[in-house]
Structure 1
């Protein structure tokens, strides 16, 4: 695994900022595990473990401006 600076994705960034608050509230009301901490480890442990390591070993371009 090679780690370093994450490549920024404008499409994903835009999607994250424009997903409506009401949409998340509806999902949280309908889906029992939606938005709960640790659900990724239950659903897909391999992916959750990879993401945890990835997040700790890489940084975003926006982190440089903090």
Structure 2
């Protein structure tokens, strides 16, 4: 588990804003339960716990400017 600041990646950031955004929009239109709050706990509880802890123990480089 990581603590502190996440290492920024320009490549991943651009990918999430372009290709990733389009893929999520298509999935949301096709799959009825996709992107709904709380479905991660049902689908994969172990990963949901990990993600919850990870998001609380780390912060982004861009959070420093907020």
TM-score range, shorter chain: 0.7 to 0.9
- CA-based RMSD of the aligned residues comes to 1.9
The 2-side partners of 1:56 and 1:15 are apart by 24
The within-5 A match list for 1:1-66 is: 1-19=1-19, 23-66=23-66
| Length-normalised TM-score, structure 1 | 0.79
Native 8 Å contact 2:2 2:57 kept in 1: no
Q: Which runs of 5+ in 1 are unaligned?
A: none
| Length-normalised TM-score, structure 2 | 0.79
Richer in strand (by share): 2
Q: Which moved more, 1:15-24 or 1:56-65?
A: 15-24
Q: How many residues align?
A: 66
